[in-house]
Amino acid sequence: MVLYASILRLEIDAMFQTIENILQVALAGVLIGVLYGLMCVGLGLIFGVMRIINFAQGEFLMLGMYATLFVGVALGGQYAGAWTPFVSALLVIPLIFVFGMLLYQLSLDRLSLRRELGEESRHSAQLVITLGISLILSNGGLMLFGTTPKSTPTEFASSAITFGPLVRDNILLFINKARLIAAALALAVTVAVVLLMNRTKLGRSVRAAADDVDAAAYCGIDVRKIYMVTFGLGAAITAASGGLTARL
C-alpha cells in the first residue's frame, strides 16, 4: 500500500507539472502573440485600404527595433530607467509614420490610382515595388547596423510576477514583467487605432476609401492623401510592434 501510494503521488505530481508547463507556455504564447497581432494590424490596415500585399512589412518591423534602440540611447539608455525602452518604442511611432508617408510618396503614389493600367497590372507593379523596398531596407540595414546582435536591456526583463500555487502546493505560474508591459502597450496601441478608425473624421475617410474609392472621391475625400496616411500609419504600427518585441 505504501508503494502504491508513493507511485500514485508521483503520478499526480507529474500531472500537475505537465499542467503547469502547458499553462506557462500558453501564457508566454499569448503575450508574444499580442505583439505579433499588433504587427498584423499594420499589415491588415495597408492591405484592407489599399489592397497592397506589403512585402516590406518585416523590414518595417526591423526599422522599429533599430529606431527604438537609437531613441533609447538618445534618452540615456538603460541608465535613464527601466521604462526607457518602452517609451522609446512609442516615440518611434511618429518617426516611422513620417518615414512611411515619404516612402509611399516616392514609390507607390504614382501607381495607386492609375486606372488605365488595369487592376492586375497595377497590383503586380505594387508587389514588385514593395519587394524592392524590402530588399533595399534589409540590405541597407545590414550595411548600416552590421550583423552583431544588439539589445535594449531593461530591469523588467529579469523579474516576473508569480501566480499560485493554484492547486494546494502545485502549479506556480510566472509572467515576465517585460513581456506583460509590452503586451499591455500593444493592446493600448491597438485600441487607439480602433478609436481612430471609428471616432475620427480621418478614420471615417480611411474606411470610405477602403469601401469605394470612386464614391469617396465624389464625397470630396482626397484618396491619394488617405492612401499616403494609411501606408505611414501601417508602417508606424508595425514599427511599434518591432520596438516592443525587441524588449523580449
Each residue of 20-58: pLDDT tens digit?
788 888 888 898 899 999 998 988 898 888 888 888 888
CA dist., res. 106 & res. 110, Å (int): 8
Nearest partner of 99 among 205, 248, 238, judged by Cα: 238
Q: Where are the domains of the chain?
A: 2-245
Query: How many CA atoms, within 13 angstroms, populate the side-chain half-sphere of residue 145?
Result: 18
Q: Are 178 and 185 in contact, with CB atoms under 8 Å apart?
A: no
Type of residue at 53: I
208 close to 20: Cβ distance less than 8 angstroms: no
What residues contact 113, with CB distance under 8 A and at least 6 apart? 213, 223, 224, 227
Integer Cα distance of 189 and 144 in angstroms: 29
| 233-245 pLDDT tens trace | 999 999 999 888 8
Residue 158, pLDDT score? 75
